[in-house]
């Protein structure tokens, strides 16, 4: 499979890593989550989507793994990342393309679609609700389903600000991450590498200490009222065991004028891994329908 790696210089002078795989007039740019994660957990996209005739563009956002990692918290804002996406897509020559974002990347993809609809042929919002308050509401509901003693232990650590303790991290892994982030056991190597390479400054600045505790600068982000302005064909993907409410995913598709929703029946937040066939079948069907003018 033909591949090409390019380093893009941003207007800020920083550098970001990109990699194109495949050759096709159908082109898709991938926005990873985190914020501050990496493209690595997207490696599974290559065998599924290039086989379907889609040219893929992987990239590590500024602050992530192969890209520059400046020690400057002022860079970690939604507005700057949205501008970065536009600079990257122009640098690699993408016009009339598909944009797929997962988790934080889904938030960023929605922001991009609202700001630059003319550049897009289609939008895929993966494992992301339309607002952080909606996410917090649902993840707190998931937390309330845990045994009372586990909830009390989590709360005790959080009241002390003891987010890095071994016990607290083990509780998160066992009762949140293994059930709602990725349900495979063991986790795939690409997922393990992604978490190992997480840029904590980016994550903590925008999200907060962890998935349960959202105190970062995007905590008030809410786009429910703007979904009707999304003008491009859109696929919204969620999963039964996701940290995002499946009902939110379906509501997003109702509010976006040209949209459909897919809920992966066996998947979690990384449903591309733990419900791969359902996840990629939905993407391929969506792209084929858009290409055929049937969407």
Active-site choice (39, 67, 197, 242): 242
- Going from the C-alpha of 109 to that of each of 82, 122, 139, 158, the distances in angstroms are 8, 11, 22, 31
Catalytic residue status for 222: no
Round to whole Å and give the CA distance between 221 and 134: 10
- Pair type for strands 27-31 and 15-21: unpaired
Per the CB < 8 A criterion, the answer to whether 290 and 260 are in contact is no
Backbone angles phi and psi of 260, in degrees to 5:
-140, 155
Catalytic residue status for 242: yes
Active-site choice (32, 64, 269, 275): 269
- Exposed/middle/buried for 163, CB within 10 Å: 0-12, 13-18, 19+? middle
Catalytic residue status for 269: yes
Q: Which helix (H) or strand (E) holds 126?
A: strand 120-126
Catalytic residue set: 103, 242, 269
């Amino acid at each position: 499979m033909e591949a090409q790696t390019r380093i893009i210089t941003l207007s800020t002078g920083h550098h970001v890593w990109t990699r194109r795989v495949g050759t096709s007039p159908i082109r898709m740019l991938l926005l990873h989550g985190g914020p501050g994660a990496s493209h690595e957990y997207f490696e599974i996209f290559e065998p599924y989507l290039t086989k379907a005739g889609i040219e893929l563009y992987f990239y590590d956002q500024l602050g992530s793994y192969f890209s520059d990692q400046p020690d400057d918290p002022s860079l970690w804002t939604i507005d700057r990342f949205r501008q970065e996406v536009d600079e990257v897509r122009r640098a690699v020559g993408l016009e009339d393309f598909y944009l797929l974002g997962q988790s934080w990347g889904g938030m960023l993809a929605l922001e991009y679609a609202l700001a630059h609809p003319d550049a897009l042929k289609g939008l895929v919002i993966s494992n992301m609700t339309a607002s952080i308050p909606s996410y917090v509401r649902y993840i707190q509901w998931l937390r309330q389903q845990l045994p009372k003693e586990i909830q009390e232990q989590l709360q005790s650590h959080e009241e002390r600000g003891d987010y890095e303790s071994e016990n607290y991290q083990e509780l998160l892994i066992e009762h949140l991450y293994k059930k709602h982030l990725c349900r495979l056991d063991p986790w795939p190597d690409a997922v393990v590498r992604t978490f190992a390479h997480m840029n904590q400054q980016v994550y903590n600045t925008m999200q907060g200490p962890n998935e349960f505790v959202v105190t970062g600068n995007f905590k008030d982000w809410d786009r429910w009222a703007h979904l009707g302005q999304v003008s491009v064909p859109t696929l919204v993907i969620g999963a039964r065991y996701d940290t995002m409410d499946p009902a939110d995913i379906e509501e997003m598709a109702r509010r976006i004028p040209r949209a459909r929703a897919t809920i992966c029946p066996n998947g979690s937040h990384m449903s591309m891994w733990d419900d791969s066939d359902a996840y990629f079948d939905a993407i391929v069907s969506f792209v084929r329908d858009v290409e055929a003018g049937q969407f």
